[in-house]
Amino acid sequence: MKQMTTEEIKNTFLDYFQNNGHLVIPKSGIIPKNDPTLLFINAGMAPLKDYFLQKTIPPSKRLTNYQDCIRLIDIDSIGDSYHGTSFRMMGSWSFGDYFKEESIELAFKLITEVFGFPKEKLYATVFVNDGTLPGVPDDFESAEIWKKYLPADRIIPSPPSDNFWGPPGDSGPCGPCTEVFFDRGESFGSTNENKDILISGRHIEIWNAGVFMEYFIDEEKNISLLPQKCVDTGAGMERFAMILQNKNSIHEIDQYEIPFSYIAENVLDLKWSRIVFDHLKTSLLMLQSGIKPSNQKEGYLLRRLIRRSLTGMYLNGCDLQKSNDFLSLISEHLEKPTGAYVKDEEVVSIFSNESGLFSKMLKRNKKYFDKIVAEGNLTGEYAFALKATHGVPEELVRELCNKYHITFPEDDFLEKMTQHKEVSKK
């Protein structure tokens, strides 16, 4: 495999598609324009939706770019080695031009000949309908094409839950996809309880190498054909870098290494250090895009990320003031290479205000948290009082319980909440 910096990986990907007749287009911001179905741009294709629907004509039938994306759907996976709530997606598209044959060939050649991924460590998944998506046939065609490049036992049939992509929001273009996985080796896992061929953490999806966009799903979940057959691909830049730079996680790649190691020196638990880095990074991206913490929609998600990063710092004995330094370091190392993650005066002031309020809440309630930890027990009544009387977010209490292996009193807590709602109604 070729050792490459993240910058080189990005340029190699874009140059390859440009040399194969694709026009390089600029990326968009993370706030969708004229698309009420999405809170954030969550894939490279999201800003291009109208091209698939032929509502507007693309500047070329073949496009490529890279795009900042936010995917909060993955929030519970953060802390592992390869998920992030924000990442950069390298993408390529065909609008009514080539379809499965050329797209798989383009993908395989780029991965093996240009990036030098060894062929024997690659797997491809193909769509096979388990009946959950009526009207969409199995993708035998892609399986046949892959046989030119990979042995049959490394072409893995996958159900719609894994291999039908989109729409990105409530409605839009979508289709069966074929994904490329890289085997990081036995040290990342030898087997799992279901004896799956692809083991999460060991076999990493490096590229959704072809969403064969043929369908449209509307808000009532009706499926119909798109006016033209298109291809949409997306590869996580950080995952490529993790593998080509032989790093254990996406957080350790060249561009992230300095801010992440500083956070990891201060937040000693590995999982939490990844969460703190990831959440602060995504918070910065949101703040610089003009989102402000609030109790609704995007603002709520930003608030949740800031609070959860401070929770991670608190639970691991890290001085909460350091969150400002962490943010500065992330910006310092990412602003230039990404053209995003900008920390200006307004960002600092909003972040300091939000983190300051949450830090005060944490300090005010420390005595109650300490009591729970000392007793190794939490009652429903106590959990309810923390939330209702002291304004402690439920998520924080759950994280505290997790950290100290204390059972969260689900039933009693729910009962207290229900009683409270009944009383409030009267």
- Regarding beta strands 62-70 and 23-24, do their DSSP bridges make them parallel or antiparallel, or are they unpaired? parallel
Least spacing, CB of residue 166 vs ligand SER, in Å: 6
Instruction: Decide whether 182 or 314 has the Cβ nearer to ligand SER.
Output: 182
Q: What's the rounded Cα separation, in Å, for the pair 70 and 406?
A: 32
Least spacing, CB of residue 368 vs ligand SER, in Å: 42
Instruction: Give start and end residues of each alpha helix (H) in 245-393.
Output: 257-266, 270-288, 297-315, 322-338, 345-364, 366-375, 380-388
Which residue number places its CB atom closest to ligand SER? 234
Interface contacts to ligand SER, rule CB under 6 A:
43-45, 91, 165, 208, 211, 232-234
Least spacing, CB of residue 139 vs ligand SER, in Å: 15
Structure tokens given for 304: 């949740």
Instruction: Decide whether 108 or 165 has the Cβ nearer to ligand SER.
Output: 165
Least spacing, CB of residue 173 vs ligand SER, in Å: 9
Instruction: Decide whether 43 or 401 has the Cβ nearer to ligand SER.
Output: 43
Reduced to 3 states, what is the DSSP secondary structure of residue 50? helix
Instruction: Decide whether 41 or 244 has the Cβ nearer to ligand SER.
Output: 41
Instruction: Decide whether 44 or 176 has the Cβ nearer to ligand SER.
Output: 44
Q: What's the rounded Cα separation, in Å, for the pair 35 and 46?
A: 9
Least spacing, CB of residue 315 vs ligand SER, in Å: 32
Instruction: Decide whether 208 or 338 has the Cβ nearer to ligand SER.
Output: 208
Instruction: Decide whether 52 or 369 has the Cβ nearer to ligand SER.
Output: 52
In terms of Cβ atoms closer than 10 Å to its own Cβ (0-12, 13-18, 19+), residue 422 is exposed
Least spacing, CB of residue 278 vs ligand SER, in Å: 18
Name the residue among 303, 299, 278, 279 with its Cα closest to residue 290.
299
Give the per-residue SS3 of 157-188.
Answer: EECHHHHEECCCCCCEEEEEEEEEEEECCHHH
- 295 phi, psi to nearest 5 deg: -100, 15
Least spacing, CB of residue 334 vs ligand SER, in Å: 21
CB atoms within 10 A of CB 282: 29
Structure tokens given for 176: 């069966």
Least spacing, CB of residue 85 vs ligand SER, in Å: 14
Instruction: Decide whether 179 or 354 has the Cβ nearer to ligand SER.
Output: 179
Q: What's the rounded Cα separation, in Å, for the pair 184 and 144?
A: 26
Q: What's the rounded Cα separation, in Å, for the pair 111 and 178?
A: 14
